[in-house]
Amino acid sequence: MEAYIFDFDGTLANSGKTGILATQSAFQEFNLKVPSEKMINYYTGIPIEKSFKKMLPDYAFRETEFQALLSAFRQYYKEYEQENLTLFPHIKEVLQELKSLGKRLYVVSSKHSVALKRNLEYLDIAVYFEGVVGSDQVEHYKPAPDGVLYILKTYRIDPEDSIMIGDASFDIQMGKAAGIKTCAVSWGAHSFEDLDNEAPNFLINHVEDLLKL
């Protein structure tokens, strides 16, 4: 493989309870039915612009209310993230090794690009990535292929020599839709069984296994 395209949350970084606390706090502030931890975890792989409406399928949001809810979530997330955000063990060492082998590394995330870049800098891994794509830089969100296609086009990468790495079914679906290989990792949000059902090219249990792709 020449190009490794990573998801962020649940793949590179463990945000702990950050997303759960921020979501529940925002919903509570707007007197909405607060989603369960299990539901929030399931939708971690797609942007809040999409997941929040899926969490309340019968609620008709007014646009101004919905935008205010998104803003509240982002503010709560920023407050909680530094207490909870950590790299998964051995991620930094594996990124260093991949970079030293001449691999090209990228991130495609459901996070807004401002928060994504802030998180990468905070975790001291931004230097390893040639390109970063957040949800605000694509027209269609995961599992649509837009983020991956943007990386392939912008950095002139051969799809045949590229792989999408993620912890959620949506990541695998996105990689397949973009026509590249996929690798599911079992240390994030979705279960081994759910990931296996997506039939990725690889399904790994240990961070070090990334060096074997």
- Residues 193, 98 share a domain: yes
- Residues 199, 160 share a domain: yes
- Select from 52, 63, 9 the least CA-distant residue to 27: 52
- Select from 134, 138, 161 the least CA-distant residue to 149: 138
- Residues 74, 24 share a domain: yes
Q: What is the pLDDT confidence band of residue 206, given thresholds at 50, 70 and 90?
A: very high
For the chain, how many structural domains are there in total? 2
Q: Would you call 213 exposed, middle or buried from its count of C-beta atoms within 10 A (0-12, 13-18, 19+)?
A: middle
pLDDT at 53: 95
For 2-44, the pLDDT digits (tens) are: 999 999 999 999 987 888 999 999 999 999 999 999 999 888 7
For 117-173, the pLDDT digits (tens) are: 999 999 999 999 999 999 999 999 889 999 999 999 999 999 999 999 999 999 999
- Residues 166, 122 share a domain: yes
Cα–Cα distance for residue pair 195/45, rounded to 1 Å: 12
**C-alpha distance from residue 15 to each of 77, 175, 194 (Å):** 10, 23, 21
Residue showing tokens 């039939």: 199
Phi first, then psi: give them for residue 86, nearest 5 degrees: -140, 155
- Residues 183, 112 share a domain: yes
- CATH number, residue 25: 1.10.150
Element (H, E) at 79: helix 63-84
Looking at residue 88, the DSSP 8-state letter turns out to be: P
- CATH number, residue 154: 3.40.50.1000
- Residues 29, 108 share a domain: no
- Residues 187, 174 share a domain: yes
- Select from 105, 123, 106 the least CA-distant residue to 115: 123
pLDDT (mean) for 193-199: 95
- Residues 195, 94 share a domain: yes
- Residues 197, 122 share a domain: yes
Helices 48-55 and 63-84: angle between axes, nearest 10 degrees:
110
- Residues 205, 141 share a domain: yes
- Residues 97, 80 share a domain: no
**Domain region containing 7:** 3-15+86-212
- Residues 203, 141 share a domain: yes
